[in-house]
């Protein structure tokens, strides 16, 4: 055990030597080290959880254990783990446990260390395993931070693209739109952005690895091909509505229950997430079709069948991920006559903003459709803050007595 922990210390030291992109939320996460709550970092594989944790802990003497190491599979004597930590790291009370979900009964070990006064940071790539154990065994004793692939702002930092007053120059905006197109195509996984790796091969391999290592193997899924078909179908049909019954028929599953279980696995492994249709009636909301999105547009492009890139749907997916990152309460909306609004933002019981996403806004028929849908929803939901996120149009227009703001997607993403 000592040799394993020592070899991982070299891994930790190598990580500490790296130069990294400043991640959003790092300041709050670092400040949380002053408290005695367990720090939980969750998110997709390879999204940067380990590096985020390292950035949090820089300057501190901390112990590091990575449970993605096959040599730690099946560890059952946690006292031996603690002994090895003490041998290698001495009296430190700060520990980072990476990919903790791979350690059986990890919550009991973490709980014990927490009672002993350890300052604990854990990372995990499975939302359910973590949330289940956290809510059962660590209730009220942890604070959680979610890490996604790079946001567009983080992507620009990685590319050393300055965000300053020169952004008002058309030439700079042209360069920025080129970066946004690259971001839409390749996504925000840190290794691709920083190391300029081949996005398609890297992301397709990562997708399959999560499917078969984190889902099929962990849950003992008997029909791996059926799970894979569902995953590929959902990601290819991102930004669209779905229902469990419709998926059952399309993919020829035997039961809706199996579809629901597989959807849950895919969501817990951070491959896809779903969005509820907004309604003031909870029963109607629960019974309505949902919409599905991927966590990264790069993965979508890497695995979908190439029938031409649908920039509008990719933009919508990007906005959905950004709203998740900003931790707002959001939905989509469809009126009784089929008029749809991409995103409904809610605070408490009140709808505070409606957002429509549109790439080809100069086309008259498209412009009229989007304005009509937004105006109808604004009146239905009692909301007068109406926004259309465009590729490069900016301005405002009155429609049906309501003011609609047009804003370039890049401005919304970097909040300028």
In CATH terms, 150-308 corresponds, of 1.10.10, 1.20.1070, 1.10.3470, 3.40.50, to: 1.10.10
Q: pLDDT tens digits for 315-324? A: 999 999 999 9
Contacts of 197 (CB under 8 A, 6+ apart): 191
Band of the pLDDT at 416, cuts 50, 70, 90?
Answer: low
Q: What is the pLDDT of residues 290-307, one digit of tens each?
A: 999 999 999 999 998 766
Mean pLDDT of 350-368: 89
CA torsion, points 7, 12, 14, 16, in degrees to nearest 10?
A: -160
pLDDT at 242: 95
Q: What is the pLDDT of residues 115-148, one digit of tens each?
A: 999 999 999 887 765 566 666 667 678 888 999 9
State whether CATH 3.40.50.720 applies to domain 2-146. no
Which sequence spans correspond to the domains of the chain?
2-146, 150-308, 328-416
Cβ-based neighbours of 206, under 8 Å, separated by 6 or more: 45, 46, 189, 299
* 401-to-369, 370, 376, 398 alpha-carbon distances in Å: 16, 15, 11, 6
* Residue 47 clears pLDDT 90, i.e. is over it: yes
Biggest distance spanned by C-alpha atoms of the chain? 72
Average pLDDT over residues 95-121: 90
Q: What are 238-295's pLDDT values in tens digits?
A: 999 999 999 999 999 999 999 999 999 999 999 999 999 999 888 888 889 999 999 9
Q: What is the pLDDT of residues 181-225, one digit of tens each?
A: 999 999 999 999 999 899 999 999 999 999 998 899 888 898 899
First-residue to last-residue Cα distance in the chain: 51
SS3 124: strand
Predicted local confidence at residue 281, as pLDDT:
85
Residue 225's pLDDT is what?
93
Res 132: pLDDT: 64
DSSP line for 353-365: EEEEE-S-TTSHH
What is the DSSP annotation of 281-292?
SHHHHHHS-EEE
pLDDT for 137: 66
């Amino acid at each position: 055990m000592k040799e394993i922990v020592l070899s991982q210390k070299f891994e930790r030291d190598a990580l500490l030597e790296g130069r990294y992109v400043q991640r959003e939320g790092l300041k709050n996460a670092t400040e949380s080290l002053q408290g005695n709550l367990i720090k939980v970092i969750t998110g997709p594989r390879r999204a940067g959880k380990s590096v985020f944790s390292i950035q949090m802990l820089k300057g501190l003497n901390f112990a590091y254990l990575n449970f993605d190491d096959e040599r730690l599979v099946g560890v059952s004597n946690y006292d031996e783990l603690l002994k090895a930590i003490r041998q290698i790291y001495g009296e430190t009370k700060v520990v980072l446990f990476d990919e903790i979900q791979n350690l059986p009964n990890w919550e009991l070990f973490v709980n014990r260390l927490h009672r002993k006064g350890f300052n604990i940071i854990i990372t995990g790539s499975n939302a359910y395993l973590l949330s289940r154990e956290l809510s059962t065994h660590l209730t009220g004793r942890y604070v959680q931070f979610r890490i996604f692939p790079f946001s567009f702002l983080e992507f620009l930092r990685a590319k050393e693209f300055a965000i300053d007053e020169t952004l008002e120059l058309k030439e700079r905006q042209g360069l920025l739109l080129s970066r946004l197109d690259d971001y839409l195509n390749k996504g925000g996984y840190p290794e691709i952005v920083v190391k300029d790796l081949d996005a398609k091969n890297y992301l397709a391999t990562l997708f399959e690895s999560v499917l078969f290592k984190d889902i099929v193997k962990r849950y003992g899924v008997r029909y791996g091909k059926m799970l894979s078909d569902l995953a590929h179908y959902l990601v290819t049909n991102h930004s669209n509505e779905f229902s469990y019954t419709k998926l059952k028929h399309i993919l020829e599953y035997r039961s809706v229950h199996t579809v629901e279980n597989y959807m849950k696995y895919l969501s817990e492994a951070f491959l896809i997430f779903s969005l509820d249709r907004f309604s003031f009636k909870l029963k109607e909301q629960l019974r309505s079709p949902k919409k599905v999105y991927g966590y990264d547009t790069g993965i979508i492009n890497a695995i979908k069948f190439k029938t031409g890139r649908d920039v509008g749907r990719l933009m919508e997916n990007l906005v959905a991920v950004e709203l998740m990152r900003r931790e707002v309460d959001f939905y989509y909306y469809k009126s009784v006559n089929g008029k749809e609004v991409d995103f409904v933002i809610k605070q408490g019981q009140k709808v505070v903003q409606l957002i429509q996403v549109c790439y080809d806004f100069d086309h008259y028929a498209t412009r009229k459709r989007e304005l009509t849908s937004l105006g109808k929803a604004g009146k239905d939901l009692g909301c007068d803050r109406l926004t259309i996120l465009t590729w490069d149009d900016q301005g405002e227009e009155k429609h049906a007595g309501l003011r609609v703001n047009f804003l370039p997607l890049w401005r919304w993403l970097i909040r300028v």
